[in-house]
Chains A and B, each alone.
Chain A
Amino acid sequence: MTIVVQHKGAFSRSREKAGDEGVGLAADVSPHPHPLPPAGEGAVSPRVPAWALWHRVPRPLRGWVIPVLLLATWWAAVQFGWSHSPLLVPLQKVWSTGVEQVTSGQLAVALGASLWRDLAGFAIGAGAGLLFGTLLGVSRLAERLVAPSFHTFKQISLFAWIPLLSVWFGLGDAAKVAFLSLAAFFPVALNTFEGIRAVPRELLEVARVFAFSRWQLLLRVVLPAASPSIFTGLHLGLIYAWLATLGGEYLLVSGKGVGNLLIDGREHFGMNLVLLGVIVVGLVGFTLNWIASRIERRLLVWRGASARFH
């Protein structure tokens, strides 16, 4: 569910980025050799007091500090019996549950079923979204006729569709895949449409000078120029589809899947299973995201260095 709003335009303004250093709010006005000293630490003072331990940790390790502290607290809470709640499961137990689920193959079955549905639904929804978005982008007539309805339907909260879909498609895979494709359809269609609308006129004029046919215009000019926005849409679609995979498994409870694993865990008060499920869900989301970014970056290499997706 991490959605960073990107510039929707195909050619985003290449504004100078302040870099990862923050804005650089060093307040001192100094005729320094560097006109802008890299805004190292802290907003107010670049001078670090000796007791500020947190400045001494090397930067690459800093991200690990809080998670390790949290895990240590958890471990200590179990070890020294600070709480006897059944919800406070020992770390080892989560680990052993994980090992057990992996070796018994249950996790693989659940994950496989979820991923299969996820990808099938995504493929259908994204394909339909691409076609629909292209049609809307290319034809003003189609836009005028269909876009208002599209924007209205988009407003309906995604999950509100589930009860209707369950009546129409049953509780099995068909309903879930239909729901997933709906989840992927909207962001892909919207971003394809907006990407095509943002194609600069100059490109179309050049294409006309070359006397491109309509087909050539679409495949060689319009779609490539709109590709960054289209990829943003596909990326969002992938994230939404994964969210919808879980939602579908919660709400259309039948069959196997990671969502069912989580529900089982909750029903049996198995905190270890639930925690494992949360970790698996996070990892899958992360992996899908990562793969999408890699593909995106590779495919957009020709555009040069303005695609920034992090």
Chain B
Amino acid sequence: MSRHPAIELSEPIPGVGPLEPGRSLRDVLRTAAPVARPLAGLALPLLLLLLWFLAAQHEWVAPQVLPAPSAVWDTLLAMAQSGELADNLRISLWRVLAGFGVGLVGGLLLGAAMGLSPTFKDYVYPLFKAFSQVPVLGWLPLLMLLVGIDEALKVILIAKAALVPVALNTLKGIENVPRQYVEVARVFGFNTRQLLVRMVLPAAFAPIWNGVRHGFTHAWLALVVVELLASSEGLGFLIVYGRQLFQLDVVMAAVAVVGVVGFVLDKLLALVELPLLRWRRTGF
């Protein structure tokens, strides 16, 4: 709100050039903005890092409570070299992909069935809704009793975490396909298969994909929880392990890896989305 949008609209983007008499400092700043803008975001992290470094250096806080950034970095490198990190990462990735895969397929099928058949929805939706009211963590003790604490538990819980948003978004996406499209399709005499492949799927794709990305976020969250609570390997276990030994450098290194991997996987999903949705932009 600090800028004046209306003025900004009519104003041409100032070109790069020497400081003319009529140009204010503000304009100069704006010219420099494309370079400075990405760097501005780095200011705060660098400041925090500096503060952290100083705090560790002068031992303002006990190193058991806040290890030095260099210690975290060294631990990270050591874990990477010894293969400890790669092993745990591989296990976590396998779990999350297996669980997410199951949840994705299940969610798509369930959502599509509920979206396409009102009868099916009448029967299944209330139960599905009740089922989704209980968060992943609510199911955890029950599932531990039923299937033990092996891989099955992790895959089921991660699948549940992914299934709910995928199914809900698929359902909403299909329900929100505008009626006019159906009319057009009917005018063209589309058969059911054509209707599904050429109209419903493209029209509902954006919300469905949104659900897929949400599902993945939830799956990743569920993975960490399950590994924190019931696991002897994986990234989450690494965190618990470090915590139990009071080695916060291990904890922080593992937390950082969890964050980075989650971020990268989410970005990968976003990349897939672009080519798949490109037709929308050229279509109009």
Contact = CB atoms under 8 A, between A and B. Distances in A.
A250 B140 contact: yes
A18 B169 CA distance: 15
Contact of A155 (B116, B228, B262): B262
Interface stretch (B1-9, B51-59, B73-81): B1-9
A133 B174 CA distance: 32
A206 B202 CA distance: 39
A164 B255 contact: yes
B183 interface: yes
B255 A3 contact: no
A27 B191 contact: yes
Interface residues of B, number: 96
Interface stretch (A36-44, A98-106, A117-125, A174-182): A36-44
12 contacts: A1-B136, A3-B168, A16-B178, A39-B118, A66-B123, A145-B40, A157-B220, A162-B228, A167-B64, A201-B9, A278-B139, A281-B134
Interface in B116-138: 116-119, 121-127, 129-130, 132-138
A138 interface: yes
B224 interface: yes
A64 B123 CA distance: 7
Nearest to A65: B123
Interface in A266-302: 266, 269, 271, 274-275, 277-278, 281-283, 285-286, 289
Interface in B172-210: 172, 174-180, 182-183, 186-187, 189-192, 195, 200, 207, 210
A3 B218 CA distance: 10
Interface in A205-241: 205, 208, 214, 217-218, 222
Interface of A: 1-5, 15-25, 27, 29, 35-36, 39-44, 54-55, 59, 62-67, 87, 138-141, 144-149, 152, 155-164, 166-168, 201, 204-205, 208, 214, 217-218, 222, 242-243, 246-247, 250-251, 259, 262-263, 265-266, 269, 271, 274-275, 277-278, 281-283, 285-286, 289
Contact of A2 (B132, B176, B182, B251): B132
Nearest to B48: A149
B83 interface: no
A146 B224 CA distance: 26
Nearest to B177: A23
Contact of B117 (A3, A22, A65, A144): A22
- What secondary structure prevails in chain B residues at the interface with A? helix
Contacts of A289: 133
B281 interface: no
Contacts of A217: 1
B252 interface: yes
B177 A18 contact: yes
Interface stretch (B19-27, B99-107, B235-243, B270-278): B235-243
Given A5-B172, A155-B262, 4 more contacts: A22-B175, A43-B117, A214-B1, A275-B142
Max chain B C-beta neighbours (<10 A), residue from A20, A59, A67, A247: A247
A263 B142 CA distance: 10
A168 B139 CA distance: 29
